[in-house]
Amino acid sequence: MINTYLPSIKHGNSNAFFLMAGPCAIEGEEIALRIADRIVNITDKLNIPYIFKGSYRKANRSKGSSFTGIGDEKALKILEKVGQTFGIPTVTDIHESDEAAMAAAYVDVLQIPAFLCRQTDLLVAAANTGKVVNIKKGQFLSAESMKFAVEKVQEAGNNSVILTDRGNTFGYQDLIVDYRGLPVMKSFNVPTVMDCTHSLQQPNQSSGVTGGKPELIETIAKAAIAVGADGLFIETHPDPANAKSDGANMLHLDHLEGLLTKLLRIREAVM
């Protein structure tokens, strides 16, 4: 489990899944701390190990005018402050090899975006930092093929790997989740996570703004826990409609505690 990789994480219920959650992008210090505080209170109450998620920069945007970030160093320092303030690990995306060492100075987990999961130099650079590496499965790849991404990190001398499923491309403007992939990826002896929000994206819309189906987040999460996911990835915000990135598929923060409570009951039933 993730606790093996991050000794600083709170050791909650050994039967619980762990949670990666937070805003899609770091929008500012106040909102990041407010979201983290709310989620820490919830996960402490429910005894769920928690990792704060926030992208310091969004590199994959449909339109050139879309929000990409508030500045790399500024956003990374906010992630660092979140981790220090609440005593929790943090995770952020990296996009190019030279970003690995930079981001690793501020966060505990480096995330490889799905579109970049085959980029050998990026995977090796992340591995070389010694940080935990969370690799998102490409929408265009089978679960079986992700063993090669895991091997690239491990062969670079880093065994701290997580795999995250975020759905598969279904036509031009939709994604679908194949839950057979979770046990397949678990067979590689790494923690396996379900991204419950990005898997509901509707990309490539004619407007240039990605759509989503947030009303199905609970469905995706329940099924993931039922088939044995070790962790869940959920982007959440107190005002998704006005979030600067991916608001169309984020969970409203007010709904997080109720959802996690239901999921713990499912986890208990299937353990």
**How far out from the chain centre does Cα 242 lie?**
21
Tell me the residue type at 253: L
Domains, the chain:
2-270 (3.20.20.70)
Token pair belonging to 90: 């943090």
* Structure-block tokens of residue 78: 């906010």
Place of tokens 């990792």: 51
How do strand 211-212 and strand 175-176 relate by DSSP bridges? unpaired
* Predicted pLDDT at 11: 40
CA angle 44, 30, 52 (to 5 degrees): 40
What is residue 7's predicted lDDT score, i.e. its pLDDT?
Answer: 47
The span from the CA of 271 to the CA of 268, in Å, is 5
Question: Which residue is listed with tokens 């509707």?
Answer: 202
Q: How far apart are CA 57 and CA 26, in angstroms?
A: 8
Amino acid 210: pLDDT: 59
Supply the angle between the helices 29-46 and 72-86 in degrees, to the nearest 10. Answer: 30
Residue 142: CB atoms within 10 A of its CB come to 13
Spell out, as residue ranges, where the chain has pLDDT lower than 50. Answer: 1, 7-8, 10-12, 206
CA-only gyration radius of the chain, Å: 17
Whole-number Å distance between alpha carbons of 192 and 1: 9
Write out the chain in H/E/C secondary structure: CHHHHCCCCCCCCCCCCEEEEECCECCCHHHHHHHHHHHHHHHHHHCCCEEEECECCCCCCCCCCCCCCCCHHHHHHHHHHHHHHHCCCEEEECCCCCHHHHHHCCCCEEEECHHHCCCHHHHHHHHHCCCEEEEECCCCCCCCCHHHHHHHHHHCCCCCEEEEECCEECCCCCEECCCCHHHHHHCCCCCEEEECCHHHEECCCCCCCCEECHHHHHHHHHHHHHCCCCEEEEEEECCHHHCCCCHHHCEEHHHHHHHHHHHHHHHHHHC
Burial 173-211 (b: 16+ CB within 10 A, else e): ebbebebebbebbbebebbbbbbbbbbbbbbeeeeeebe
